[in-house]
């Protein structure tokens, strides 16, 4: 062994400066890795079709979900998120009527999307009316998974929102009564019907049941009740389009909520005076008379000005574009849940119907 190796000191330690330099390099590398990881995550979010991609744009959030701002949407999500942990998921074996219950505290569901993005997918379907095939491509999941997510969230929101009492007491209605209703101070609810066009069934019997003579098309028909200050306080189930307004009113269940001291405001076609225990405000109509009196004309114009707001409210419901097209018969099994959820969501998605009516 030569002298050079004999003189080597294998017990020597690195200089302190060299140790500090190595540690600094390690820390710099760690920070660079973290920066690159965040950049990859940001790029992934920007390329994926998910709620996070649109969080910075209230206009996009409003377009895809009908919630007026991202903050509104997240406030609503905080209300329903705790209940979503016990959500019943529709399984692949729907024919056997089986379901999958998600475990409490689980971050994901039976499929690949996070719960908040499942909710976002449902809202995009409802609000923009995108087909299941389109949604499957956008979210990069199978079309059958899209179908199960939509059905699952329709059932879940129908149950959760339906458990919230929206009918208001007489005292609550009067406490929020706008000045515009001072001539009708006992008005409890403003009522109107709306129709949703549906695909024509091949069965002639079914065609006759859902055909609406008013719309000259096959429709589903529902009744909506609005408190004078603009909140939805009653939503009926959907009925076949051939049902009359009066029959729908009787079958809807709203009569049981009315009391003698209340009044309802309806359109001239609602001849329901013999069905209710309360007063009815309705525009006058000529019947067999040649003309109305001056008082009747003034009252008709006054009621018409107030009733226009329930029509505006119904337009808010139909801003969910799923109902702006002909509804395919393939979703009739869940159309009642979808429609009811769309109606109930209106109370959460928007600001006041008339800003001047809003009270602190």
**Tens digits of residue pLDDT in 149-173:** 999 999 999 999 999 999 999 999 9
What is the model's pTM?
0.80
Structure confidence at residue 10 as a pLDDT band (50, 70, 90)? low
Over the stretch 22-40, which tens digit does the pLDDT of each residue have? 667 777 777 777 776 765 5
Structure confidence at residue 186 as a pLDDT band (50, 70, 90)? very high
Mean pLDDT of the chain: 85
Q: Residue 328 in contact with residue 133, Cβ under 8 Å? A: no
Where is average pLDDT lowest: 27-36, 39-48, 122-131, 173-182? 39-48
**Residue 102 half-sphere exposure, CB side, CA atoms within 13 Å?**
21
Q: Residue 188 in contact with residue 263, Cβ under 8 Å? A: yes
Over the stretch 61-110, which tens digit does the pLDDT of each residue have? 999 999 999 999 999 999 999 999 989 888 765 434 434 444 433 444 44
Q: Residue 302 in contact with residue 190, Cβ under 8 Å? A: no
Provide the 3-class DSSP secondary structure of residue 50: coil
Over the stretch 278-331, which tens digit does the pLDDT of each residue have? 999 998 775 555 677 777 788 888 998 999 999 999 999 999 999 988 998 888
Higher pLDDT, 306 or 47: 306
Closest by CA position to 147, among listed 358, 328, 350, 349: 328
Provide the 3-class DSSP secondary structure of residue 343: helix
Closest by CA position to 194, among listed 358, 348, 327: 327
- Is the pLDDT reported for residue 249 higher than 60? yes
- Give the integer Cα–Cα distance in Å for 72 and 83: 18
Higher pLDDT, 267 or 28: 267
- According to DSSP, residue 256 is labeled G
Domains in the chain (CATH in brackets) are 53-162 (no CATH), 170-357 (3.30.420)
Closest by CA position to 157, among listed 77, 102, 221: 77
């Amino acid at each position: 062994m030569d002298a050079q190796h004999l003189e080597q000191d294998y017990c020597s330690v690195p200089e302190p400066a060299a140790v500090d330099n190595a540690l600094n390099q390690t820390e710099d590398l760690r920070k660079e890795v973290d920066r690159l990881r965040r950049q990859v995550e940001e790029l992934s979010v920007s390329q994926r079709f998910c709620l996070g991609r649109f969080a910075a744009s209230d206009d996009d959030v409003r377009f895809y979900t009908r919630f007026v701002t991202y903050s509104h949407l997240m406030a609503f999500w905080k209300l329903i998120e705790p209940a979503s942990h016990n959500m019943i998921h529709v399984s692949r074996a729907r024919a056997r009527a089986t379901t999958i219950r998600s475990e409490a505290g689980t971050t994901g569901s039976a499929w690949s999307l996070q719960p908040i993005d499942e909710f976002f997918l449902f809202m995009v379907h409802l609000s923009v009316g995108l087909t299941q095939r389109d949604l499957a491509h956008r979210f990069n999941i199978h079309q059958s998974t899209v179908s199960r997510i939509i059905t699952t969230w329709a059932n879940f929101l129908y149950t959760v929102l339906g458990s919230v009492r929206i009918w208001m007491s007489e005292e609550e209605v009067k406490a929020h009564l706008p000045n515009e209703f001072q001539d009708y101070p006992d008005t409890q609810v403003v009522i109107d019907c709306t129709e949703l066009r549906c695909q024509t069934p091949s069965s002639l019997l079914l065609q006759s049941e859902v055909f609406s003579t008013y719309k000259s098309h096959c429709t589903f028909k529902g009744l909506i009740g609005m408190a004078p200050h603009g909140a939805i306080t009653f939503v009926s189930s959907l009925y076949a389009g051939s049902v009359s307004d009066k029959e729908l009113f009787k079958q809807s269940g709203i009569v049981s909520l009315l009391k003698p001291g209340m009044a309802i405001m309806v359109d001239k076609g609602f001849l329901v005076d013999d069905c209710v225990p309360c007063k009815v405000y309705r525009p006058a109509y000529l019947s067999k008379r040649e003309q109305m009196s001056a008082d009747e004309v003034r009252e008709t114009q006054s009621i018409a000005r107030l009733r226009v707001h329930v029509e505006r409210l119904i337009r808010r419901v139909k801003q969910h574009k799923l109902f702006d097209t002909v509804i395919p018969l393939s979703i009739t099994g869940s159309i009642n849940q979808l429609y009811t959820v769309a109606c109930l969501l209106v109370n959460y998605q928007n600001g006041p119907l008339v800003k001047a009516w809003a009270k602190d």
